[in-house]
Amino acid sequence: MSSENGKRLLETDAGGLNFEATELTLGLPGEPRVTSDGGAKLGSKRGFSETVDLKLGDNNQEVKLGHSLQEAAKSPVSKTQVVGWPPVRGFAKRGKKSCKYVKVAVDGAPYLRKVDLEIYNSYQQLLTSLEDMFSCFTIRNYLNEKKIDQVNGIEYMPTYEDKDGDWMLVGDVPWQMFVESCKRLRLMKSSEAVGLGLTTGPKYASTN
Amino acid sequence: MSEDDERQQSPPSDLEFVSNKARNCNATGSGSGHPELQSTYPDQVLENVLENVLHFLTSRRDRNAASLVCKSWYRVEALTRSELFIGNCYAVSPGRATARFTRVKALHLKGKPRFADFNLMPPDWGAHFNPWALAMAKAYPWLEKVHLKRMSVTDDDLATLAELFLGFKELVLVCCDGFGTSGLAIFVSKCRQLKVLDLIESEVSDDETDWISCFPEGESNLESLIFDCVECHINFEALDRLVARSPSLKKLKLNRYVSIGQLYRLMVRAPQLTHLGTGSFSPSDIAGQGDQEPDYVAAFAACRSLVCLSGFREIIPDYLPAIYPVCANLTSLNFSYANITAEQLKPIISKCHKLQTFWVLDSICDEGLQAVAATCKDLRELRVFPVDPREDNDGPVSEVGLQAISEGCRKLQSILYFCQRMTNAAVIAMSKNCPDLVVFRLCIMGRHRPDPVTGEPMDDGFGAIVMNCKKLTRLAVSGLLTDKAFDYIGRHGKLVRTLSVAFAGDSDMALKYVLEGCPQLQKLEIRDSPFGDAALRSGLHHYYNMRFLWMSSCRLTRHGCQEIARAMPRLVVEVIRSADEEEMDDVVGTLYMYRSLEGPRTDAPKFVTIL
């Protein structure tokens, strides 16, 4: 079984994360069906993500499962992990020691979402999850209703506000540093991002 | 056809009214003293009497039986049914339901199948509440209560409930999604008679709307407010004021954004609570170090009526002793979000003599379960959830814990037990020690894992359960299982209504045994097991008696499923595709089929093909 909505996930290359891969072709959040705190969790009701074949970012990285719960759908822990097994609903929330929720705003969308940065291990995982959240279903609607010509939808740049209040491009600092300093995320329309000078490619999004 | 799928009748067709039954009704009604009106007056008397009597009939199974006696009873039963339960929202249309039952005050609807909870079904599959909301608005403007499970509910639907039903009192949403805090805000602001708002394990999107502030001012009728699943900050001051003006409030379950200090304030306001969900049970970050800690023990001691305790979402175990004063009265304790050790559990559980329901994490280990077994002699329901659900070899709970529970808690009726290892011996012991078991759900997380002591499959353990537990209606199996296990189930599981199978069985025979042997089977959910079209065929005689059959990642082919669809016109046969499957693949990824009076639904998404 593989990902919902024929996600572009399958197109992103396993090995390196180039700039194209970090660009999110997203639509409006539309139906608030997906998890508000980041991606489909193993055992959560939402999201139809497939765990086994997801090649998310850096496969070489050892996934630290120090704190009791790691959301298995997003961490390639072992090859034998299967979708929806064991059958525990919402287990990702049980016994969780730490979590870091940040709000995610998408330009033009009326709704905010929240993600827990602690459940990801890399930029790739985070960005994939954001793609899940703002599902392709709404892209179709968006395209139909607003008659956008672009086949691929609207391009967004992932940006974040750090502890100092500055807006940075996601991927500029090592992942852990990002998790610690990120206060909120904003998926900015590319046209606006250009104006803010955030056009240089991310330095760290391809590593971890 | 009755909307209740749990009755045991022959394949439901549209009701046949046998005329000689009507004649019998006439005959028994005689003796009124008016021979010329004999054919009509006794009927009317009977109907009036019947109407008054049937008002007292609450069980829906009894009502279904009553409705089949004759035309008159059917009509009167339909008039007097005030609580309508529909186990599969697609089995019957809103129009058909409202046409038959005209005086409904409470609606209970279920939507998606349970395996949807585990990412086995794409979102947007269906189960929309909207058409029901609109139909109810026309047919039952006096509707007071709605209870939904696994349905998709929008903000607009919530607005509809609040605006179009003036006397609306109770909303319970279990495992629902599709709405957010803005919908809640509209709902609570307009629903002036609200007594119950229970959001249980539902997905609520954070629209940054302060819904708690939207409850109307003045004294509220609230009796139950459950929002522990809502993953958004709430306005605590508004909540505090709300609790202060809700004198009837008995059930309050807070989400994890409520700190223990805030919990204290609420408990002081509402010592009359019977059900409490404690929220995070840890201090907020901004609590000053030097601040005086409130007297949590006193707050709990003041709640003399507290019988059900849950929450502990981000527990700091140091605060656990605060609950000592209520332990002796507790009948239900939910620690399934509390990552605590056996040592931390023991002082609590040793006081919980009256406990009947206990949900916990396996962090308490076998040792913790032994402590439960030592004290909780009245235990009826136990659920042990995994902290770390990976398929490792080591796990904190095992056959040792199960054995201990079986020896200590003889009145056990329902168990859900996640573990990494289990022996047949322990399962057999439980089957003998706990004869009252109605629900036995064992999840050995390692797939295809045999008995680690004997190396044997787990057939004999589950066999013993179905043989010895004569009241068993719900069973979930796991571990290494051959067809033999299913032979046992078919032979002995005569009351089994719900069966969950995963990674089990050797051949089609296994499914055949079950479909041919279990006459009460209602809900069958199977994944990743080697059952094919031949097995599917063996259930043709029974599918109209079932609520649904789910089979994913088995060995079904499209033409096999098509055969079933052709043979059974009142069955809706859905083939659900995952994104990489082509539409014309012969292999079926997921089969979901259910009886229905309406034929194929019109709201199916593209990834669903109805054969």
CB-based contact A94 B118, cutoff 8 Å: no
Closest alpha carbon to B360 in B374, B341, B375: B341
Q: What is the 3-state secondary structure (H, E, C) of A129-187?
A: HHHHHCCHHHHHHHHHHHCCCCCCCEEEEEEEECCCCCEEECCCCCHHHHHHHCCEEEE
Average pLDDT over residues B328-335: 98
Share of chain B above pLDDT 70, in %: 91
Residues on chain B touching A83 (C-beta within 8 angstroms): 118-120
**Amino acid found at B169:** K
Pairing of strands B275-278, B251-254: parallel
- Max mean pLDDT range (A43-57, A192-206, B491-505): B491-505
Mean pLDDT of B377-400: 89
Q: Which residues pair with A113 in a beta bridge?
A: A104
Shortest Cα distance from A96 to chain B (angstroms)? 7
The per-residue pLDDT for A72 is: 36
Higher pLDDT, A15 or B363: B363
B127 vs A contacts (CB less than 8 Å): none
Q: Does A42 contact B206 at a Cβ distance shorter than 8 Å? A: no
Pairing of the two strands B523-527 and B357-361: unpaired
Q: Does the pTM exceed 0.90? A: no
Task: Quote ipTM for the complex.
Answer: 0.81
Give the closest of A49, A111, A137 to B119, CB-based: A49
* Mean pLDDT (whole number) for A120-139: 68
Nearest residue of chain A to residue B446 (CA atoms): A86
Confidence of residue B513 (pLDDT cuts 50, 70, 90): very high
> Å from A194 to nearest chain B CA?
28
Residue A187 half-sphere exposure toward CB, CA atoms < 13 A: 29
Whether a cis peptide bond, with omega within 30° of 0, leads into A86 is yes
Given a contact cutoff of 8 angstroms between Cβ atoms, the answer to whether B122 and A4 are in contact is yes
A144 pLDDT above the threshold of 50:
no
Return the minimum-mean-pLDDT range out of A61-65, B122-126, B246-250, B301-305: A61-65
Distance between alpha carbon B412 and the CA centroid of its chain, in Å? 19
Residues of A in contact with B527 (CB under 8 A): 84
Tell me whether residues A97 and B339 touch, CB distance under 8 A: yes
pLDDT, residue B21, reads: 41
CA separation for the pair A24, A128 (Å, rounded): 9
Taking CB atoms and an 8 Å limit, are A32 and B314 in contact across chains?
no
The nearest alpha carbon in chain B to A75 belongs to: B390
B72 close to B22: Cβ distance less than 8 angstroms: yes
| pLDDT over threshold 70, residue B538 | yes
Residue bearing the bigger pLDDT, B45 or A135:
B45
Pair B143, B168: CB distance under 8 Å: yes
Q: In the prediction, which pLDDT does B274 show?
A: 98
Tell me if residue B222 falls in helix, strand or coil.
Answer: coil
Residues of A in contact with B500 (CB under 8 A): 87
In this predicted structure, the answer to whether residue A31 has a pLDDT above a threshold of 50 is no
Q: How far apart are CA B222 and CA B229, in angstroms?
A: 19
Find the residue in B nearest to A7 (Cα).
B579
Question: What residues of chain A lie within 8 A of the CB of B336, using their CB?
Answer: 94
Q: Nearest chain A Cα to B178, which residue?
A: A33
Distance from CA of A39 to the nearest CA of B (A): 12
Nearest to A88 among B313, B314, B389 (CB): B389
Domains and CATH numbers, chain A: 101-195 (3.10.20.90)
pLDDT score of A203 more than 80? no
Among A148-152, B350-354, B412-416, the range scoring the smallest mean pLDDT is: A148-152
CA–CA dist B127, B79 (Å, integer)? 27
Give residue B581's pLDDT band: very low, low, confident or very high (50, 70, 90).
Answer: low
- Kind of pairing, strands A184-189 and B548-552? unpaired
Find the angle CA(A37)-CA(A41)-CA(A45) to the nearest 5 degrees: 95
Give percent of chain B with pLDDT exceeding 90: 82
Give the model confidence (pLDDT) of B76-105 as tens digits. Answer: 999 999 999 999 999 999 999 999 999 999
CA separation for the pair B576, B553 (Å, rounded): 11
From the list B124, B339, B443, which residue is nearest A33 (CB)?
B124
| C-alpha to C-alpha distance for B46 and B53, rounded to whole angstroms | 10
CB of B57 closer than 8 Å to CB of B4: no
Cβ atoms B183, B158 nearer than 8 A? yes
A54 token code pair: 């997801």
What mean pLDDT is reported for chain A?
A: 56
> Between residues B317 and A207, which one has the greater pLDDT?
B317
Q: Which residues of A54-70 are buried (b: 16+ CB within 10 A; e: fewer)?
A: bebbbeeeeeeeeebbb
Give the best residue of A2, A11, A33 to mutate against chain B (max B CB count within 10 A): A33
Residues 6+ apart with CB under 8 A from B25: B43, B46, B70, B72
* Least confident stretch, A165-174, B207-216, B368-377, B455-464: A165-174
Q: What is the mean pLDDT of chain B?
A: 91
3-state secondary structure of A54: coil
CB under 8 Å to A146, separation ≥6 — which residues?
A: none
pLDDT at B504: 97
Chain B contact set for A82 (CB, 8 A): 447, 528
- Cβ contact, residue pair B579, A7, below 8 Å: yes
Q: Does residue B322 surpass a pLDDT of 90?
A: yes
Q: If you measure CA to CA, which chain A residue comes closest to B388?
A: A69
The burial class, CB within 10 Å (0-12 / 13-18 / 19+), for A145 is exposed
Q: Which of A28-32, B39-43, B313-317, B539-543 has the lowest mean pLDDT?
A: A28-32
Classify residue B161 by its DSSP letter: H
Judging contacts by C-beta atoms under 8 Å, the chain A residues touching residue B585 are none
Do A2 and B580 count as a contact with CB atoms less than 8 A apart?
yes
Cβ-based burial of B174 (10 A; exposed 0-12, middle 13-18, buried ≥19): middle
Q: Which of B355, B470, B350, B476 is nearest to B409 (CA)?
A: B355
* Whether the Cβ atoms of residue B326 and residue B306 lie closer than 8 Å to each other: yes
The reply to whether residue A94 touches residue B361, judged by beta carbons under 8 angstroms, is: yes
What is the three-state SS of B525-538?
Answer: EEECCCCEHHHHHC
pLDDT tier for residue A32 given thresholds of 50, 70 and 90: very low
Report the pLDDT value the prediction gives residue A92, as an integer from 0 to 100: 47
Nearest CA among B365, B412, B369 for reference residue B386 = B365
**Chain A residues near residue B391 by CB distance under 8 angstroms:** 78, 80-81, 86
**B476-507 as b/e: b if 16+ CB within 10 A:** bbbbbbbbbbbbbbbebbebbbbbbbbbbbbb
DSSP result, B464-528:
HHHHH-TT--EEE--SS--HHHHHHHHHH-TT--EEEEES--SSHHHHHHHHHH-TT--EEEEES
The upper half-sphere exposure of residue B260, i.e. CA atoms within 13 Å in the direction of its Cβ, equals 23
Strands B145-149 vs B106-110: parallel, antiparallel or unpaired = parallel
CB atoms within 10 A of CB B307: 17
CB pairs under 8 A between A and B: 156
pLDDT average, residue stretch B329-356: 97
pLDDT for residue A67: 33
What distance in Å separates residue A200's CA from the closest CA in chain B? 32
Q: How far apart are CA B158 and CA A191, in angstroms?
A: 37
- Scanning every residue of chain A, which has its alpha carbon at the shortest distance from the alpha carbon of B175? A45
The alpha carbon of residue B161 is apart from the nearest alpha carbon of chain A, in Å, by 19
More confident residue, B542 or A156: B542
What's the rounded mean pLDDT across residues B141-146?
Answer: 96
- Encode pLDDT of B398-430 as tens digits: 999 999 999 999 999 999 999 999 999 999 999
Mean of pLDDT values over B232-258: 97
Chain A CB contacts of B447 below 8 Å: 80, 82, 85
Task: Find the closest chain A residue to B577 by CA distance.
Answer: A1
Q: Distance from A31 to chain B by nearest Cα, in Å?
A: 7
pLDDT at position B11? 38
**What pLDDT score does B490 carry?**
98
**Of B180, B418, B580, which has the smallest distance from its Cβ to A111's Cβ?**
B180
Return d(Cα B432, Cα B427) in angstroms, integer.
Answer: 9
Residue B439's pLDDT band, with cuts at 50, 70 and 90, is: very high
Q: Which conformational region is residue A43 in: left (phi greater than 0), alpha (psi within -120 to 50 degrees), or beta?
A: left
Residue of B118, B391, B578 with shortest CB distance to A84: B118
Task: State which residue of chain B sits closest to A96, comparing Cα positions.
Answer: B314
Residues ≥6 apart with Cβ < 8 Å to B415:
B381, B382, B383, B405, B430, B437, B439, B440, B441, B442
A68:B232 CB<8 A: no
Q: Residues B197-220: what's their mean pLDDT? A: 94
Would the CA dihedral through B109, B114, B116, B121 be positive or negative? negative
Residue pair B433/B410 in contact by the 8 Å Cβ criterion: yes
Say which residue, B338 or A145, is predicted with more confidence.
Answer: B338
Do B387 and A69 make contact, defined as CB atoms within 8 angstroms?
yes
Disruptive mutation site among B112, B119, B203 for chain A (greatest number of A CBs within 10 Å): B119
pLDDT given for residue A40 in this prediction:
35
| Residues of chain B positioned with their CB less than 8 A from the CB of A87 | 115, 117-118, 443, 500, 502
Alpha-carbon distances, residue B386 vs B13, B231, B461 (angstroms): 45, 21, 22
What is the C-alpha to C-alpha distance for residues B476 and B358, in angstroms, rounded to an integer? Answer: 19
Q: What is the mean pLDDT of residues B214-235?
A: 96
CB contact under 8 A, A36 and B204: yes
Which is more confident, A204 or A7?
A: A204
Residues in chain B: 611
What are the structure tokens assigned to B133, written together? 């909301």
Band of the pLDDT at A128, cuts 50, 70, 90?
Answer: confident
Which residues on B lie below 8 Å from A78 (Cβ)? 390-391
Residue owning tokens 């669903």: B608
